[in-house]
Amino acid sequence: MTFSLRRLALVAALGVTPFAAWWAAAEETRVTFPDLDALIHYTTVTRGNVVEHMLTTQEAIDAVQAGQPIPAGTHVVLVDYRDGSDEVYRYLVMQKGEGWGDDFDERRRTGDWQFQFYWGDRSINMDENTARCQRCHQSRASSDYMYTYNDLRRFGQ
């Protein structure tokens, strides 16, 4: 009987493991897609065949330039273009919300920022793992988890 229970547990674990891996990659977060017309383009980053336009709110720019924390409610959007195309390939959106960091354990937490990938049509890209964003952005804690923080500081000056 013990052998059968172990076998059943093993089969159950193996059957759930692929689903769990898929779910980890396919999570929805609290991030909402922003009104892009209300955001300001503050820098462009080119990486090979990828051109990334960075957008955020005037309030975020003002806060960073005043040495203040970026306010809750802020969106930062990376608009991703590929191979010289005029069509958006995808959007990467990070949004800050009061207490949102509590949704994750310490190993994944990036302050109160959460992340979401969207396709060019603005539908959620469930093929991407937002934990990957968090792991990378954790190294930027001293700059409010942003890689383009210094671009915000210098914008318009």
Question: What is the phi/psi pair of residue 103, to 5°?
Answer: -70, -15
Percentage of the chain modeled with pLDDT above 70: 82
CATH 3.50.70.20 for domain 29-154 = yes
Joined tokens for residue 81? 């273009």
Give exposure, 104-114, as e/b (b: 16+ Cβ within 10 Å).
Answer: eeeeebbbbbb
Q: Residues 39-74: pLDDT tens digits?
A: 999 999 999 999 999 999 999 999 999 999 999 999
* Domain definitions of the chain by residue range: 29-154
Of 65, 52, 59, which is closest to residue 93 (Cα–Cα)? 52
pLDDT at 103: 86
Question: What is the phi/psi pair of residue 11, to 5°?
Answer: -60, -45
Question: What's the mean per-residue pLDDT of the chain?
Answer: 83
How far is CA 62 from its chain centroid?
22
**Could you tell me if 112 and 97 are in contact, meaning their C-beta atoms sit under 8 angstroms apart?**
yes
Q: Residues 120-147: pLDDT tens digits?
A: 999 999 888 877 777 777 777 788 879 8
